[in-house]
Structure 1
Amino acid sequence: MRGRRALRSAAALGLLAMTATACSGEVARLGMPEPISDQAERMLKLWQGSWIAAFAVGVVVWGLIIWAVLFHRKRSDDLPPQVRYNMPIEILYTAVPFVIIAVLFYFTARDQNYVEKLSDDPPVVVDVTGFQWSWQFDYKEKVGGKEQTVASVVGVPVAPNAPSGAKPVMTIPSGQKVRVRLHANDVIHSFWVPALLYKKDVMPGYTNEFEFTARKEGLYEGRCAELCGVDHSRMLFQLKVVSPAEYAKFIADSKAKAAGGAQ
């Protein structure tokens, strides 16, 4: 009877914990920032699904441990029934972990392919160059079949507590696919925007690429996530997601400014 009451209490506590998790957005994200892109949403779901699978396995393991402790305690000096060389149990021990790993592998590979997929002709292309210790953002457009830089933002190292206006800003439109091409002139850096739930290495002599579609307008912090030298902590930037109309105005203003400077 005591064992059954303990199991009921444990089940009630588990149900209460799951209910509390469902009521809180932050807790439901399990430590992840609020995602702002389609790709980040997919990664968050994979993260949550992995936790659910881990919790389910944990419940089974905890249940078996509690069951063994409560119902198979030593009650006499008699040797309990032995289950060595039990073929069905041995097969179960082998098959269950294999199935769990296979399921996790499938969903991980599926979502990785989705996140890393590149389209043929994205509407927005930004070349990002990391250097000690800041960022340069070059906005590309095809003019006469050739790709040209139509706007450029070059940053300088800033203090971690610097105001927003001191950081270089990468501006992109919401609802449109953006391709980011990563370059480095000196050492290995890492492009990281926590709200994208994604980061990618910026390597000298090699161009890394990825695409994302942002859905939530706003200003989001970014930084280098690879120790790259003495001023690594000052290699900060911001990602600004604006409406397509605001982005078109940003590009038009940049073109006009460049044309005025060329005269």
Structure 2
Amino acid sequence: MRRFAALAAGLLSLPALTSCSDLVSRGFLPGDRGTTDKTPLIMDLWVNSWIAALTVGIITWGLMIWVIVAYRRRKNTVGFPAQLSYNLPLEVFYLAVPLIVIGVLFVFTDRDQRAIDERYPNPDVVIDVFGKQWSWDFNYVKEQVHEDAGQQAHLTGDYGAPDRLPTLYLPVGKKVELHLQSRDVQHSFWVVDFLQKRDLYPGHEQYNPYIDITPNRTGEYMGKCAELCGEYHSEMLFKVKVVSQQEYDSHIADLRAKGNTGSLGSDFVRQPQSAPAPQLPEPAE
């Protein structure tokens, strides 16, 4: 029993010993806590869910081991212990505690999910994001300009950033709404450090998802498609640059000066190919 007590104490002290690590404090998630206004919510929900799961697990494993050790069959024991058909207080406890745990997790998850998905009533920047095999197109809706049509990355196997990645510019500290659409098959928009991911469903414009965020840190972030979408899915990469308002305005002016006005619209959507009409045999004369 002393060994068991020491083992249990060690397991219980492990989270406290590792809590000083920044990686552990954010639940081994990528990026920093303040990357966007939504990353703290996502990290807290993730970490607290793991804490709740580990707490329940440690208590459950501890009770199981204690019962195995305390009520093990001793030497020279004859017959069977007294058999009980049921224990009503214990069975009520077993039913009530899981329901309470699930209810608490549901309440916090629903609260945070609603906050993460809440749309800005008047975003500062609105961007149409189009996924396509195997790249991305970006339209700055309010500014009426667009990035160059995205081209597929070419991974060579060498460590480093792939070439020709389409790049999305966002102003730091501004409310941004991303409208996500697909030009062909199902894709998934994922900026790794933003900790948010949304699937894009072709042919369902009324259900197109959106992401509303406020970038809080300048820098360059990698993005990718997170839905297996074909042969070159691994090369469907892009970058996000969060810059100052002055740099953002300068980039918009550069796009306008080079003639990237309007939007990359339906002309770039893959048109479905109609099957050839079946050839019917000529009627016999």
TM range (shorter): 0.7 to 0.9
1:42 CA displacement: 0.8
Q: Which residue of 2 aligns with 1:57?
A: 56
CA deviations on 1:185-228 (whole Å, 9 max, x unpaired) are 21111111111111111222322212111112111111111121
Of the candidates 25, 28, 43, which is equivalent to residue 28 of structure 1? 25
CA distance in 1, matches of 2:148, 2:141: 12
1:98 CA displacement: 0.4
What is the aligned length? Answer: 251
What code does the residue aligned with 1:72 have? Y
What code does the residue aligned with 1:100 have? V
Q: Percent identity?
A: 42
Q: Evaluate the alpha carbon distance shift between residue 8 and residue 255 of structure 1 in structure 2; reply closer, same or farther with a 3 A threshold.
A: same
1:60 CA displacement: 0.7
What code does the residue aligned with 1:211 have? D
Q: Structure 1 runs of 4+ off > 4 angstroms? A: none
Q: Evaluate the alpha carbon distance shift between residue 232 and residue 5 of structure 1 in structure 2; reply closer, same or farther with a 3 A threshold.
A: closer
CA distance in 2, matches of 1:25, 1:81: 52
CA distance in 2, matches of 1:160, 1:54: 39
**2:166 is the counterpart of 1:171:** no
Q: Which has the higher helix share?
A: 1
Q: Which residue of 1 aligns with 2:265?
A: none
1:18 CA displacement: 1.2
CA distance in 2, matches of 1:124, 1:83: 67
Q: Which residue of 2 aligns with 1:102?
A: 103
CA distance in 1, matches of 2:69, 2:108: 37
**1:138-177 alignment to 2 at 5 Å?**
138-141=139-142, 149-161=144-156, 163=161, 166-177=164-175
CA distance in 2, matches of 1:157, 1:165: 9
Q: Evaluate the alpha carbon distance shift between residue 255 and residue 107 of structure 1 in structure 2; reply closer, same or farther with a 3 A threshold.
A: same
CA deviations on 1:130-168 (whole Å, 9 max, x unpaired) are 111111111111xxxxxx623333210112357455201
CA distance in 2, matches of 1:103, 1:217: 36
1:19 CA displacement: 3.0
CA distance in 2, matches of 1:9, 1:180: 50
CA distance in 2, matches of 1:81, 1:160: 69
Structure 1: tracts of 5 or more residues without a match: 142-147
Q: Evaluate the alpha carbon distance shift between residue 80 and residue 244 of structure 1 in structure 2; reply closer, same or farther with a 3 A threshold.
A: farther
**2:179 is the counterpart of 1:181:** yes
1:259 CA displacement: 8.4
Contact 2:188 2:197 (8 Å CA) reproduced: yes
For the residue of structure 2 that corresponds to 1:127, the secondary structure is strand
Q: Which residue of 2 aligns with 1:144?
A: none
- CA radius of gyration, larger in: 2
**1:1-263 alignment to 2 at 5 Å?**
3-15=1-13, 17-35=14-32, 36-75=35-74, 76-141=77-142, 149-161=144-156, 163=161, 166-205=164-203, 206=205, 207-258=208-259
For the residue of structure 2 that corresponds to 1:38, the secondary structure is coil
User: 177-186 or 74-83: which moved more?
Assistant: 74-83
What code does the residue aligned with 1:28 have? S
CA distance in 1, matches of 2:36, 2:85: 52
Contact 1:30 1:48 (8 Å CA) reproduced: yes
CA distance in 1, matches of 2:144, 2:67: 68
User: 227-236 or 96-105: which moved more?
Assistant: 227-236
Contact 1:138 1:153 (8 Å CA) reproduced: no
Q: Evaluate the alpha carbon distance shift between residue 153 and residue 178 of structure 1 in structure 2; reply closer, same or farther with a 3 A threshold.
A: farther
Contact 1:130 1:202 (8 Å CA) reproduced: yes
Q: Which has the higher strand share?
A: 1
